[in-house]
Structure 1
């Protein structure tokens, strides 16, 4: 299993960037403390995906912050990204691992306790549970699972695995602490981070909240 720091997982989506340059937004998020960046774009064609992913990869060089690509293993391979994040309907993690190799970071979205059970035998490095709260960042017909649903899935995961587990959807400064207190190892932020007026300041604020909550749980010294 590859080490992954999920404390502040920034997901950059051009649709949630208020018209600003996604590459510059990613730089700003990392400057403020983002520990992992994912590029997610459901509408761009293949060539545009590769161009922007390559620019993001170049922008993160020297920062030690990994770049993951949502869904698209071909794009990750084309630009030399650090890995991929997969949904339940995407390429199976076993196939992704064969294509990307042992050092790639592979993440998986989990929405149910049953999916948590199935993840145990998969070659993934982390999971991300959601959607925890209501969000406008992604079309999703499933109702939010809330903090109780988050705890239930985390409990199932922890029975058999110590993989890092993040949480996603509707998470911002008002509820990030509660998400970590519920047992998550980090938060995924989209609108809260990349639609903020001052992304570096917001990143610092979110990371501070996460670290405080992790310290309260005894995870951070």
Structure 2
């Protein structure tokens, strides 16, 4: 089945300010999110599993793909749709051997060479970024910008999702490059009205 990557939510509980993650994800899906990635940093394996299990109840309810960031073991434990890897994580080919051909494997890329290598190694999609400066990642020296995104999109034949500082003010620019979707964190989860914020992004798409 073809995956709709158009509005890709990446979770980050810091932006929820104590609000319930299940409720937040459900509201985002109601607003039009098409994929959910659970991203947990600096938590125990038990806590990551707990959060992923809770989110999966919601994604299963609405038949939305659930992607787990970095952790292949958590993806297996909750029977997620797939996993999203970083450049320093397990190689795609090895992840594929573990997860099997039916699971989605995505990987973060920041230039054409990384994107081409991901495609050759069998990635289902790439996350391209960071496009702009972003509050969720402090270690970015120079964002690749719209021109960098466009260059990568032109050189690959697998789906791509733009990530990093994407919001309703720059979304039209991002999508004009031909990328298949936009990954957002704070533009959805940082809002008091999550469903409305998501809906506004969906209208832009």
Q: Residue in 2 aligned with 1:44? A: 43
- 1:71 and 2:66 aligned: no
TM-score (norm 1): 0.89
Q: How far apart are residue 164 of structure 1 and its match?
A: 1.2
Q: Residue in 1 aligned with 2:97? A: 98
- Does the CA contact (< 8 Å) of 2:36 and 2:59 recur in 1? no
Root-mean-square deviation over aligned CA pairs: 1.1
Q: How far apart are residue 98 of structure 1 and its match?
A: 1.1
* Matched pairs, number: 205
- Separation in structure 2 between the aligned mates of residue 52 and residue 117 of structure 1, nearest angstrom: 33
- Separation in structure 1 between the aligned mates of residue 139 and residue 92 of structure 2, nearest angstrom: 22
Deviations 1:61-107 (A, max 9, x none): 23110111000000111111111011111111111111111111111
For structure 1, the residue ranges without an aligned partner over 5 or more in a row are 211-221
Q: How far apart are residue 109 of structure 1 and its match?
A: 0.8
User: Which of 184, 187, 195 is the matching residue for 1:189?
Assistant: 184
- Separation in structure 2 between the aligned mates of residue 150 and residue 14 of structure 1, nearest angstrom: 27
Aligned positions of 1:4-23 closer than 5 A: 4-23=3-22
For structure 2, the residue ranges without an aligned partner over 5 or more in a row are none
Q: Secondary structure at the match of 2:202?
A: helix
Q: Residue in 1 aligned with 2:116? A: 117
- 1:170 and 2:204 aligned: no
